[in-house]
């Protein structure tokens, strides 16, 4: 069985690299650490929180805004060959990273593939860490890059890809959306039903509720579109706010995500939540973007009557 260790990065194409850099640093609060050719690298990890810092956790590159990739490292880097063979047996594409591609991803080795929906995933062996201290791009205490929501054309099929092949565990379901964990964090990847693949949102954990609420007001004052929250997810217990970035990408800040500890693994059972009110946000907000719980028409009608 192949075991995953941690989500490492998201790579996003953009038609306007300068605008994406400005947003990632001045608005999201990431740190620009490198520019190479048509790519920009950002960091987000506080060593005091994670115990380490990933070399980078986000890359914007000049390219198709629909071109999204996530990187995840293997618990045992020597499993890379076995993973390649397993992917081939499943009929998935397998591309072994060239030296130049490895250098661009700051890793010793990797395999690029896709899930059955067509989401681009890179499995990394020995990705680089860094001893350089993270300095946020604005006044916000970002702790780390924590998870992505990914669109799926068939969450049940794609869940099997993650659980059978990669030993991910289902933490919970919200409607048909599946929350998957690969370590103690409640979810590193969420599969959200859609008609297309791609990254739906990128989450950063922040230090406390003040970072969420201060960001909510500050983002609105900057003219950034808030698309969900502020609120609290009952599923993960995290307090959150979601906002829209370049090319329609959604960013999330949250604090307090639930962990499922090793001693709880044997007895933990995933829970099913419906998409009804208060199940996505127990404070009552609904999302204004695809993939997250939208306000049902019935609730809207009821509110009009009241």
Query: Under the rule (CB under 5 A), what is the footprint of Fe ion?
Result: 203, 252
Q: Which is nearer to Fe ion, 27 or 238 (CB)?
A: 238
CB of 41 to Fe ion, least distance (A): 23
Q: Which is nearer to Fe ion, 110 or 242 (CB)?
A: 242
CB of 45 to Fe ion, least distance (A): 18
CB of 148 to Fe ion, least distance (A): 8
Q: For strands 31-36 and 39-43, give the pairing.
A: antiparallel
Q: Which is nearer to Fe ion, 14 or 200 (CB)?
A: 200
User: Do residues 229 and 133 make contact, with C-beta atoms less than 8 angstroms apart?
Assistant: no
Q: Which is nearer to Fe ion, 203 or 205 (CB)?
A: 203
Q: Which is nearer to Fe ion, 56 or 204 (CB)?
A: 204
CB of 207 to Fe ion, least distance (A): 17
User: Do residues 171 and 129 make contact, with C-beta atoms less than 8 angstroms apart?
Assistant: no
CB of 212 to Fe ion, least distance (A): 12
Q: Which is nearer to Fe ion, 84 or 256 (CB)?
A: 256
- Which residue is listed with tokens 């990273």? 97
Residue facing Fe ion at closest CB distance:
203
CB of 96 to Fe ion, least distance (A): 31
């Amino acid at each position: 069985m192949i075991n995953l260790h941690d989500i490492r990065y998201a790579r996003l194409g953009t038609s306007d690299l300068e605008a994406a850099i400005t947003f990632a640093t001045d608005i999201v609060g990431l740190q620009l650490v490198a520019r190479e050719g048509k790519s920009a690298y950002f960091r987000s990890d506080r060593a005091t929180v994670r115990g380490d810092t990933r070399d980078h956790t986000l890359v914007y590159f000049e390219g198709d805004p629909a071109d999204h990739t996530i990187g995840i490292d293997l618990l045992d880097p020597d499993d890379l060959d076995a993973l390649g063979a397993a992917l081939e047996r499943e009929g998935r594409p397998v591309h072994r990273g060239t030296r130049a591609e490895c250098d661009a991803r700051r890793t010793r080795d990797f395999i690029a593939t896709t899930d059955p929906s067509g989401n681009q995933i890179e499995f990394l062996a020995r990705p680089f860490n860094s001893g350089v201290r993270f300095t946020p791009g604005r006044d916000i205490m970002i702790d780390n890059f924590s998870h992505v929501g990914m669109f799926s054309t068939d969450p049940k099929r794609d869940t099997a890809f993650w659980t059978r092949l990669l030993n991910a565990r289902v933490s919970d379901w919200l409607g048909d959306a599946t929350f998957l964990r690969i370590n103690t964090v409640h979810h590193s990847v969420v599969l959200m039903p859609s008609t297309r693949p791609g990254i739906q949102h990128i989450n950063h954990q922040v230090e406390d509720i003040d970072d969420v609420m201060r960001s909510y007001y500050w983002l609105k004052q900057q003219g950034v579109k808030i698309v969900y929250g502020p609120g609290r997810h009952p599923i993960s217990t995290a307090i959150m706010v979601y906002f829209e970035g370049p090319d329609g990408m959604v960013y999330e800040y949250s604090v307090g995500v639930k962990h499922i500890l090793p001693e709880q693994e044997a007895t933990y059972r995933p829970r099913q939540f419906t998409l009804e009110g208060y199940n996505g946000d127990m404070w009552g907000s609904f999302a204004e973007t695809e993939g997250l719980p939208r306000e049902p028409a019935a609730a809207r009608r009821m509110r009009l009557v009241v």
